[in-house]
Amino acid sequence: MKSPKSPKPQITESMLKSHSTAKSFDRGQGYYQAGAVVELTQRGGTIQALVEGSEYEPYCVQLTIDAGGIRQATCTCQYDYEGWCKHIIAAGLTCIHNPEQIETGRTIEEILEPFNLEQVKQLVINLVEDDPQIINNVELIAIKLETQPTQVTTQQASQQQSSQTAEPHAKKSASSTRTRKTTIDPKPFANRARDLVRNTINHWEEGGETNLLIEELPELIQSAQEFSDRGDGHNASVILEAITTEICRGWDDLLDYGGNAEEVLEILDPAWAEAILTSELSEQERIDRQVQLEEWAEELNAEFSLGSAALREGWDDERLQAVLAGEATDLWGEERPDYADDLAQVRLKILAQQGRTVEYLRLAFAEQQTRSAMEMLIENDRIAEAMAMVDRLPTIDDAFVVAKKLREQEAIPEALQVAERGLTLPKHLPERWQTFMLDASSRSDVPYLRYDVAQWASELAEGLGNTAKALELRVIAFKAKPELADYQALQTLAGKQWKSLQPELLDHLRQLDHWVGAQARVGIFLQEGLVEDAIAVVDHYYDRELMLQVMQAATASHSDWVIQLGKKYAEEIMDRGKADRYDRAAQFLQQVQTAYLQSDRQKEWTKYRDQLVTQHGRKRKLMGCMQAVGLL
Each residue of 403-430: pLDDT tens digit? 999 999 999 999 999 999 999 998 865 5
Helix (H) or strand (E) holding 46: strand 46-51
The answer to whether residue 176 scores a pLDDT higher than 90 is no
Asked if residue 2 has pLDDT above 50, the reply is no
Contacts of 183 (CB under 8 A, 6+ apart): 234, 235, 238
Provide the pLDDT for residue 139.
78
Q: Mean pLDDT, to the nearest integer, of 7-12?
A: 82
Q: Is pLDDT at 140 greater than 80 in this prediction?
A: no
CA distance 95 to 137: 32
The percentage of the chain sitting over the pLDDT mark of 70, rounded to a whole number, equals 90
- How many whole angstroms separate alpha carbon 19 and alpha carbon 575? 45
Out of 239-248, 290-299, 424-433, which region has the weakest mean confidence (pLDDT)?
A: 424-433
Q: What is the pLDDT of residue 174?
A: 34
Task: Calculate mean pLDDT across residues 42-51.
Answer: 94
Exposure string over 31-42, b if 16+ CB within 10 A, otherwise e: bbeeebbeebeb
Tell which residue, 113, 59, 110, 105, has the closest CA to residue 86: 59
Report pLDDT for 439: 40
Query: Does the pLDDT of residue 22 top 80, yes or no?
Result: yes
Average the pLDDT over 278-286 and give the result: 94
**What letter represents residue 442's amino acid?**
S
- Taking residues 135-141, report their average pLDDT: 79
- Whether residue 273 is predicted with pLDDT greater than 80 in this model: the reply is yes
Residue 286 carries which side chain, given as an amino acid letter? R
Candidates 313, 314, 330, 310; CA nearest to 322 is 330
Helix axes 233-249, 261-277, angle to 10 degrees: 160
- Give the residue-averaged pLDDT of 65-76: 93
How many Cα atoms occupy the beta-carbon half-sphere of 621 within 13 Å? 11
Look at residues 68, 76, 20 and name the one whose alpha carbon lies nearest to residue 49: 76
Give 437 or 110, the one with higher predicted confidence.
Answer: 110
For residue 5, the SS3 value is: coil
Confidence of residue 82 (pLDDT cuts 50, 70, 90): confident
Q: Is 68 helix (H, G, I), strand (E, B) or coil?
A: coil
Residue scoring higher pLDDT (168 or 615): 615
Is the confidence at residue 166, as pLDDT, over 60?
no
pLDDT, average across residues 32-39: 95
Q: What is the mean pLDDT of the chain?
A: 89
Q: Report the C-alpha gap between 445 and 467 in whole angstroms.
A: 26
Write down the pTM of the prediction: 0.79
pLDDT value at position 12? Answer: 92
Residues 6+ apart with CB under 8 A from 546: 518, 519, 522, 537, 538
Identify the pLDDT of residue 503. 97
Range in 4-13, 277-286, 311-320 with the lowest mean pLDDT: 4-13
What is the model's pLDDT at position 374? 98
DSSP track, 445-479: --HHHHHHHHHHHHHHHHHTT-HHHHHHHHHHHHH
Q: Report yes or no: 107 and 14 within 8 Å, Cβ to Cβ.
A: no
Q: Are 356 and 157 in contact (CB under 8 A)?
A: yes
Kindly state the helix (H) or strand (E) to which residue 71 belongs, with its residue range: strand 69-75
The angle formed by the CA atoms of residues 521, 524 and 525, to the nearest 5 degrees, is 80
Does residue 398 surpass a pLDDT of 60? yes
Q: Which is nearest to 595 in space by CA: 632, 548, 627, 628?
A: 548
With b meaning 16 or more CB within 10 Å and e meaning fewer, what string describes 67-79?
bbbbbebebbbee
Q: Is residue 89 within 8 Å of residue 29, measured between CB atoms?
A: yes
At 180, the amino acid letter reads: R
Return d(Cα 609, Cα 504) in angstroms, integer. 44
Query: What is the predicted pLDDT for the residue at 262?
Result: 94
Is residue 357 within 8 Å of residue 326, measured between CB atoms?
A: no
Run of H or E residues at 269: helix 261-277
Q: Kindly tell me if the per-residue pLDDT of 149 is higher than 80.
A: no
Question: Residue 5's pLDDT is what?
Answer: 59
Closest-CA residue to 13 (of 493, 395, 451, 392): 493
Cβ-count burial 206-227 (b if 16+ within 10 Å, e if not): eeeeebbbeebbeebbebbbbb
DSSP 310-354: HHHHTTT-HHHHHHHTTS-S-SSTT---TTHHHHHHHHHHHHHHT
